[in-house]
Structure 1
Amino acid sequence: MATTMFDLSGRVAIVTGGNGGIGLGLARGLAKAGASIVVAGRNAAKNTQAAAELRGFGVEVLEFALDVRKPESCRALVEATVAQFGKVDILVNNAGMSYRRAPQDYTLDEWNEVFETNVTGAFVLSQACYPHFLAAGGGKIINTGSIVSVMGSPFSIGYVVSKGGILQMTKALACAWAKDNIQSNAILPGWIETDMTTGARRDIPGLNDRVLARTPAGRWGSPQDFEGIAVFLAGPASNFLNGAAIPVDGGYLSLA
């Protein structure tokens, strides 16, 4: 029973932003559980590097140079996946970006780029996967939100609002598609050691100390911390979990 509940053999997973950071951590977990992986990201060289690592787990991997800001690129990704594997079972909407700006300094172009990347692309991909989920008898959507999906931040308003949108989209898809055996859930990463947060630690005085002081686990997270939650949300063990938002933050949100 335990093996079956967490076995993804024969499943096909698209992971956007899967060539590094949290996305690669999620992809590793899925691959270790037996899923074939589509690594989708803008940087083709990073895609190739990540794909080589994932193939080391004995699974088939497809690389796709995705620009998640472009709907036609999102739809082409799903088409390429189905052409290669015949289906898609799991969609991980992980691609994301941010500008660190005070609200008064944000340009409208920056705002739109953040939303196109963090929200609109995820919606287009979910739409594109829907008929294939129906054909397969169900599917799994895992959206990467953030702890700022449920709390504020003074220095990245576009990111904060877009991640709030991801959380609400997760719930809306769960409500709409539960009848089709499609589960839509979100993870809410806390402060994780990635390329994006490396810049934040450099640019925001005292950030590292504040994160450590508030995180009960006493450390920053790592991409490896996302392997288990990926397997849980992508497999049969989570079949009655829908519209949930699960913090992966070392207890950050639990500390008042």
Structure 2
Amino acid sequence: MRLRDRVVFITGASRGIGRAVALICAREGADIVVAAKTEVADNPRLPGTIHDVAGEIAALGRRALPLKLDVRDDEACRSAVAAAIERFGRIDALVNNAGALFWADVLDTPMKRFDLVMSVNVRASFALSQAVLPHMIAQKYGHIVMMSPPVDVSVCAHHGAYAVSKLGMTMVAHAITEEYAEHNITAHALWPATAVESYATKNFGLGGPEIWRKADILADATLALLAREPSARPGKAWIDEDLLREEGVTDFSRYQCVPGVEPPHIAFTGLPKVSTAKP
């Protein structure tokens, strides 16, 4: 029970990676704020709701607060944090998992799409971090995790809007670590070494199960970050496999979507382009 009685606020928690993170944190003793847009399952391509995940958490014996949240609305973000504080009295960790995907070259990216990825990715993670930080400072404890890659422009060419939004999240994490370390607060960026099975990879046609790992790998890596005292491991940008190897993991076969098939490692933009005709 490495997170006993901690409170973890997770965005995009109604399915996929966010749900996996929520459940592993609950199994380790945490109470969970399940924040996502989906309150009613009305799209067969996007099953799962905040209430479904809250029920799974309750079945594990932990408390859950399902919150319908559009992370593009900074006032709604502040209200969600206030609701979590009212319910649980504290927030020990924020996992900025909600994301918008649009992979296209600059000329193929409408400004509406540019604004979407910027608002859902970097702006929302900034707004939520800003909202939780005063509470973390007051309690002298806090973890913030961004689902974003290390800043390495040599592997982040192409898909300009998406790359800027995700690298921006990482820069915010680095800034938080530097600015609030004295309060026992740290922020990490976390990114997969391989493509990960999610409704984004499925619905956007990003390969198939033979090149994916299960979302459990990012959940395990997130737990590894949250399980330590913030000051014990100052924030940095991690690749999930590197982090888990540091934790002593040597066998990654259990994360394979196709048993016996080890997915290839990818660069930040190492998957096929997404057609701009996709939703």
Name the aligned partner's letter for residue 201 of structure 2.
Answer: T
Query: Aligned match of 1:200 in 204, 208, 215?
Result: 204
Q: Give the alignment partner of residue 5 of structure 2, picking from 10, 14, 38.
A: 10
Identity %: 30
Structure with greater proportional helix content: 1
Paired position in structure 2 for 1:22: 17
Q: Does the C-alpha gap of structure 1 residues 173 and 142 become closer, same or farther in structure 2, counting only changes over 3 Å?
A: same
Deviation at 1:102, TM superposition (A): 2.7
Corresponding residue for residue 111 of structure 2: 108
Describe the SS at the equivalent of 2:13: coil
Which residue in 2 is equivalent to 1:215?
A: none
Distance 2:201 2:219 in 1: 19
Aligned-residue offset at 1:240: 2.3
Q: Which runs of 4+ in 1 moved over 6 A?
A: none
Q: SS of the counterpart of 2:213?
A: coil
Q: Which runs of 5+ in 2 are unaligned?
A: 41-48, 242-262, 268-279
Distance apart, 1:253 and its partner CA: 5.5
Secondary structure at the aligned position of 1:140 is classed as strand
SS, match of residue 145 in structure 2: strand
TM-score (normalised: structure 1) = 0.85
Contact persistence 1:147–1:253 (CA under 8 A): no
CA shift digits 1:93-147 (9 cap, x unpaired): 1110112333201111211111110011111111111111022121111111147
Aligned to 1:223: 215
Q: Which has the higher contact order (CA 8 A, sep 6+)?
A: 1
Residues 149, 237 of structure 2: 8 Å contact kept: no
Gaps of 5+ in 1: 1-5, 213-218
Shift of 1:62: 0.3
Q: How many residues align?
A: 236
Spell out, residue by residue over 1:20-59, the C-alpha distance to the aligned partner (whole angstroms, 9 max, x if none). Answer: 1111111112111100000000111311111111222210
Q: Give the aligned CA root-mean-square deviation in angstroms.
A: 2.2
Instruction: Tell me which residue corresponds to 2:183.
Output: 180
Map of 1:248 onto structure 2: 240
1:52 aligns with 2:43: no
